[in-house]
Amino acid sequence: MLATLLLRDKTYPIQPGITIRQALTRIGIDPQSVLPTRDGELVSEESLLKEGDEIKLIAVISGGSA
């Protein structure tokens, strides 16, 4: 069974056993641009993905100073 990363309306099936950071890199998402959550709780991008995990990614909005 795969793990799943969810970002907005996109779903990314991922093989478990790698870190969230590694998974993000594989699918072309900058790890610094999102916050990973599992069951509504913030998790470290160094957390290992397990079978059946559903990780919601929250896009980080960054602003600059003028």
pLDDT one-digit tens code per residue, 13-32: 999 999 999 999 999 999 99
Q: Under CATH, what is the fold of the domain 3-59? A: Ubiquitin-like (UB roll) (3.10.20)
* pLDDT of the residue at 61: 80
What share of the chain in percent tops pLDDT 90?
A: 91
DSSP state of 19: B
Is residue 45 scored above 80 in pLDDT?
yes
Q: Residue ranges per domain, the chain?
A: 3-59
Rounded CA-CA distance 16/53 in Å is: 8
Is residue 63 scored above 90 in pLDDT?
no
Rounded CA-CA distance 50/19 in Å is: 9
Mean pLDDT of the chain: 94
